[in-house]
Amino acid sequence: MPVWVPVWALAWALVWVMIAGYGPLAVTAAAADGPVAVPADGPTAPSQSAASPVSAATSSPLVLESIQLQGTERTPLSTVLLYLPLEPGEAVDQAGLVAAVDELRRSALFARVAFFTKPGSERGRLILVLEVTEHRFDVRFGVGNTDLDGWYLIPVMLAADNLFGHGERIDLQWRFGFRQNGFLLNFAVPRFGDGRNYWGTSLGVLQTDRPYYFDGVEFRHRVDFGNLGFALGRRLTGAWTGEVALAFEKVDADSTSTANNDAPGGGIHDGDVIDFDILPPAIQAGVGVQRRTIARVDLRLDSRSKATVAGSPVSGFWGRLKMEHFFQGTESFSAVNVDLRGYRSLAGGIVAGRARAAAVGENAAFYDRLYLGGMYTVRGFPTNSLSAPGGDTGLWNASAEYRGPIIGRGPTARLGGVLFIDTGASGGGGFSQFTGVSAGAGFGVRLRFWWLGWLGLDVGFPLTTSPVDEAFHVNATLGWSF
C-alpha cells in the first residue's frame, strides 16, 4: 500500500478529532520542536508578588470565585484561561495555585507574571489576582534544530508575542548553522478553541550545503529552499500530540559541488569546484529547480520530565512518527520516519537511548534521501560518509549514552560528560539492500553557556571499517545529540 494512503487517513482522523472535541481529554502542553529563544538581555525569572497567596496554614481547599487581571491592555481573560489550568468555581489550595501560575509563566504568554489572592464574597471563597506585564517588541537570541541539518544558531530574532491579545506569536529570525543560512518569518497561535488546538504558518528561504563522500573526499553541494508552510495540531491525551501540515516548496540544487579536503591519491584539492559533467550520477539527477507540495502527518509523544541533570531529562520518553508525501508530478514519493528516545536516572547520571528507522521512495533526490555517519547517527565517522553519494532509501540507527555532571549538580551543573556507543546501517531498496552495520563509540563533554545552552564536543572512535583514514573523529554540537 502506498505511504500516502495511511497519511491521508490519519490526517482526516486528526482533523475530525479537532472539530469534534473527542470527549474529555486531559489538557497537557506538549513541548513543540523548533527554536528556543531568550530575550537579548538574558532570561528574567518571574517574581512572585510580595502579597501572600493562600495562607500556608490553610490545609483545606477553597473555592476560586473569580480571576482578575492587572496590567493588561490587550489580553482578555478568555485568552489567559487557555493557558492557566484553573477556572472559577474550582476547589484550589496553595500548591495548586502555585503550580497553575507556574504553568502560565512557562507558556510565555506574558513577559512577567506575579499573583496574590484576596477574600471572596463569602467565607471559603477567594479571588486570584494576576499582575502581568505584556510583551513588547523584543530582540532575542536562540538555538534550534532540524532533522536534516542539525542544530543552528539564531543570532537575531525580532519577536512580537501576543501582539493582538490572543496569544499569537510572530517572529522574524535569522538562522545560521554549520551548513545552513537563511531567514524565516513565523506566525503561530499556540492555543485556540478548547486550548488543546494550535496552528501556524511560516515563510522562509534557506541556503544549505549538503555533504557527501566519494573516493575518500568530502564534497559539499549547495541546495537552496524556499518554503511556505501551514500546520494544524492538537494536544491529544497525556503527552501525545497530533499534527497535519501542508507546504509549498521550491528547491534549487546547484550544478556544481565543492571539494572540502584533498583526495588521498591527489588529483582533487580542497576548494576545487567539481563541474556537472563529472558529478556522481545520483547527484546529477537532483540538479536543477523542483517545485513541489508536501503533505505531512505527525504523531508525537513527549513524557520527558522537567527535571534535568546537566541539561538532560532525568526520565521519560520522546517519540515521533512522521509520514510525508511529496507531490512533484511523475517524480512524487513518500517518506516515513520513526524515532524513539528514552531517559532514566542512574547513579547520579542519566542513561539515554535512541532507536530510529526511516525510509524514502526511490524518486527522492539526493537532498531528500537518508545518510548515515556523523553526530546524529553514528559518531566516529564523518557526516554522511557511510552512505552512497546520492544517499540511501532505508536507514536505521541506535545509540546508548551515559550522561552525568562533572562540575556542579543536577540542573545547575556547568559542565557535563557523556560516554556513548552508536550503531546503524543504511542502503537502497528501502530496508532490503543494506551494506552492513557500522558502529562507533567514544566520549564527550557539554559546557553550559548563557543563551546558547549546552556547547558540546564529542570524540568518536570507529569500531568498524571507515571510508576515511582517521583513527577518531571529532564533532562539535549545540545541545545533546538526542
Per-residue pLDDT of the chain (482 residues; tens, 9 = 90+): 444 444 444 444 444 434 343 333 322 233 334 433 333 333 333 334 434 445 443 446 789 999 999 999 999 999 999 999 998 999 999 899 999 999 999 999 999 999 999 999 999 999 999 999 999 998 988 777 665 556 778 888 999 999 999 999 999 999 988 788 999 999 999 999 999 999 999 999 999 999 999 888 999 999 999 999 999 999 998 899 999 999 999 999 999 999 999 988 888 999 999 999 999 999 999 999 999 999 999 999 999 998 999 889 999 999 999 999 999 999 999 999 999 999 999 988 999 999 999 999 999 999 999 999 999 999 999 999 999 999 999 999 999 999 999 999 888 899 999 999 999 999 986 555 666 899 999 999 999 987 778 889 999 999 999 988 899 999 988 888 88
pTM of the model: 0.82
C-alpha cell at 114: 506575579
Residue 392 is placed in which grid cell? 540511501
* Cα–Cα distance list, 389 to 219, 321, 376, 480 (Å): 9, 27, 18, 27
Output b/e per residue, 362-377; b: 16+ Cβ within 10 A: ebbbbbbbbbbbbbbb
The predicted pLDDT at position 410 comes to 80
> Domain 37-133: which CATH class?
alpha beta
How far apart CA 54 and CA 127 sit, in angstroms, is: 10
* Phi, then psi, of 240 in degrees rounded to 5: -95, 140
If you compute the radius of gyration of the chain from its CA atoms, what whole number of angstroms results? Answer: 25
Give the Cα separation of 367 and 225 in Å (integer): 11
What is d(CA 259, CA 35) in angstroms, rounded to the nearest whole number? 31
CATH code for the part of the protein at 4-17+196-478: 2.40.160.50
Of residues 136, 138, 128, 116, the one with CA closest to residue 52: 116
Distance CA 307, CA 419 (A): 21
Residue 400, class by beta-carbon neighbours within 10 Å (0-12 exposed, 13-18 middle, 19+ buried)? middle
Helix, coil or strand: residue 471: coil
CB 448 within 8 A of CB 394: no
Tell me if 206 sits within 8 A of 182, measured CB to CB: yes
Per-residue model confidence (pLDDT) at position 233: 97
Distance CA 482, CA 476 (A): 14
CA distance 451 to 441: 29
Question: From CA 249, how far away is CA 365, in angstroms rounded?
Answer: 14
Each domain of the chain, given as residue ranges in start order, spans 4-17+196-478, 37-133
The answer to whether the beta carbons of residues 359 and 431 sit under 8 Å apart is yes
* Residue 26, C-alpha cell as written in the block: 486531559
Question: Where do the DSSP E strands lie in 82-196?
Answer: 91-92, 112-119, 125-133, 137-146, 150-161, 169-177, 180-192
In angstroms, the CA 370 to CA 249 distance is 19
Nearest-5° angle of CA 249, CA 251, CA 253?
A: 175
pLDDT of residue 155: 86
Q: Convert 267-304 to b/e letters by CB count within 10 Å (16 or more is b).
A: ebeeeeebeeeebbeebbebbeebebebbbbbbbbbbb
Report the Cα 447 to chain-centroid distance in Å.
20
